[in-house]
A and B are shown apart, each in its own frame.
Chain A
Amino acid sequence: MENLSILTHFDYTLMIVAVGAALLGTVSGALGSYAVLRRQSLLGDAISHAALPGIAIAFLLTGSKTPLILVLGAAIAGWLGTLLIMSIVRLTRIKYDSALAIVLSTFFGFGLVLHTLIQRTGNANQAGLDTFLFGQAATLLERDVLTIGILGGIALVVMLIFWKELKLLVFDEGFAASIGFPTRTLDILLTSLLVVAIVLGLQAVGAVLMSAMLVAPAVAARQWTDRLRLMVFLAACFGALAGVSGTIISSTASRIPTGPTIVLCATVVVGLSIAFAPNRGLIWDRIRQQRNRRNLKMETSRY
């Protein structure tokens, strides 16, 4: 009897989960392109780890698991973490990578402590908070997917509106400032978009591995194209692909956390791209080298 009911609900649940994962992959893949091009791949890692205590605090304060409230808590904490990293770099002699490490581990540690405390209280409502660690896409409900769709959509629209400004910021910040664009504000805007992409993925992918959703699709996309527009588009597609395949695999097999599964799927995409992409791919490179060598040999032996 129970098996039967699982079967009837299976398709619907899976569809919700797949839609959520696709939206998630699209948003994080597109915005992750900017992080990768700015050499800020690790910032995503710091933000996602720093967001964890925000979820716990939001739950402690409100006692609710409404996705919007938890996402808001995560976003604020992730934001504060980023701000802290920037301030440490500006005000002290500590370097960027150390500042990242400090903030990441401190916030994450604090988050773990809070989550353990919540679990001890035995609040019946708390079940599921720990999915934010490694992600459990199977727990995605309609309202979660709706939240991801709306907030992610807004983030993408903002990215498209300020396309020219963000491109200039990433390529040549000094020039952008010289012609009057407020680079500090644009920097904050871009970071905020990253924060949005990250916190939306926390439930499905988890804090520990969320940064892979930002970095892997972008790295793979860069292999295939030399145009920013196409790179962002491809990264969005790859992100959706990895998201969907990862979540479906993890939600059909029982209780495999989604984060690791998605990362493995994304790794396959990255691996294929690094190997087979034209121009930048390894195999292409090897073929070109051999052809060049052969041509040179022929030309020099003629005389």
Chain B
Amino acid sequence: MSYGTGNEWFPYYEQAFSEGSFSYRTGNELPYYEQVFSDSGVLGMQASEQKAIQVTDLTVAYQDKPVLWDIDLDVPPGVLLSIVGPNGAGKTTLIKAILGLVRPAAGNVLIYDKPYEAQRQIIGYVPQRGSVDWDFPTNVLDVVMMGCYGALGWIRRPGKKERELAMQALEKVGMEAYATRQISQLSGGQQQRVFLARALVQDATVYLMDEPFQGVDATTERAIVTLLQELRADGKTVVVVHHDLQTVTDYFDWVMLLNIRRIASGPVDEAFTSDNLRETYGGRLAFMK
């Protein structure tokens, strides 16, 4: 194959760029489906066509032990979904598999019809609070600004703009007064808010959160729920690993019951039945009535 002088193809390349046909998602432009949803707020109709998250035949195994077995999960856009299940059910692993942090033995994951790698810019992640060392020498603002690192890419440092974004996010979680606080001085609930603020800075369309309610007091729990519901009202899709069965009906509109296999998933009033719960938890649910 020859390009002659090697120069003649170059103008095409440039042209393509300026016309935007090679456009790289900046995160500012909304895809059409999202506009549809944020305008209408309808969840039912288009949801059957467009999936925010589509997990198909997903199996994950550590050594030879399956942690997730043949999981199918469709999450329509704009829902607030909780994943519940007993300890060791694979909830965290499912989140990590959706994020591409764990390599599945089989199956695949699509975010808005594309593989994860192509959609990183529209995904926000809140890891478990206990997964990092909170004695790391840094302050709150610095951690929140890490939410910009993905958009910044390699080498570029966060500047004034990123600082402002981080301050706005801190205001949303009620932590603006703690911006310069060393992170080891935070309580559990404050640590969780900092992680949420970092995810807000990512300005994502799909959020994946691993136990954001773990070890927080009632006030913080209330604040986090309000925040999650605001995200949903903005048309975002939020998936939350959750432990407290009592609050599932109050906080969430969708639920997935998981115990290695998917027991059920769907709107809370359909999927969150005592039969399904018994199957998920193996009849150890005396407190549920």
Contact = CB atoms under 8 A, between A and B. Distances in A.
Interface stretch (B67-75, B80-88, B142-150, B239-247): B142-150
B137 A177 contact: no
Interface string A154-190: 0000000111110110111011111111000000000
Contacts of A230: 137
B155 interface: yes
A302 interface: no
Nearest to A227: B137
A174 B198 CA distance: 14
Contact of B157 (A164, A177, A226, A227): A164
Interface-centre pick from A168, A180, A222 (highest chain B CB count, 10 A):
A180
B149 A172 contact: no
A171 B136 contact: yes
A13 interface: no
Contacts of B100: 177-178
Interface residues of B, number: 30
Given A175-B125, A178-B101, A225-B137, A162 B146 contact: no
A226 B137 contact: yes
A164 B155 contact: yes
A155 B261 CA distance: 48
A164 B182 CA distance: 18
Nearest to B123: A178
Interface stretch (B28-36, B38-46, B53-61, B127-135): B127-135
A254 to B, nearest CB: 41
Given A168-B146, A171-B132, A178 B99 contact: yes
Interface string A202-241: 0000000000000000000010011110110000000000
Contact of B155 (A37, A162, A222, A226): A162
B182 A226 contact: yes
Contacts of A226: 137-139, 182, 184
Measured as residues with beta carbon below 8 angstroms from the partner, the interface class of chain A is: 20 to 34
Contacts of A222: 137
A228 B138 contact: yes
A179 B154 contact: no
B127 A174 contact: yes
A113 B19 CA distance: 67
Given A177-B101, A180-B120, A171 B155 contact: no
A84 to B, nearest CB: 21
A37 B132 CA distance: 11
A227 B138 contact: yes
B146 A175 contact: yes
Given A37-B136, A178-B123, A231-B137, A171 B101 contact: no
B190 interface: no
Interface of A: 37, 39, 161-165, 167-168, 170-172, 174-181, 222, 225-228, 230-231
12 contacts: A164-B155, A165-B154, A171-B143, A175-B146, A175-B198, A178-B120, A178-B125, A178-B127, A179-B150, A222-B137, A226-B139, A228-B138
Cβ-closest 5 pairs across A and B: A179-B150, A178-B125, A226-B182, A180-B120, A228-B137
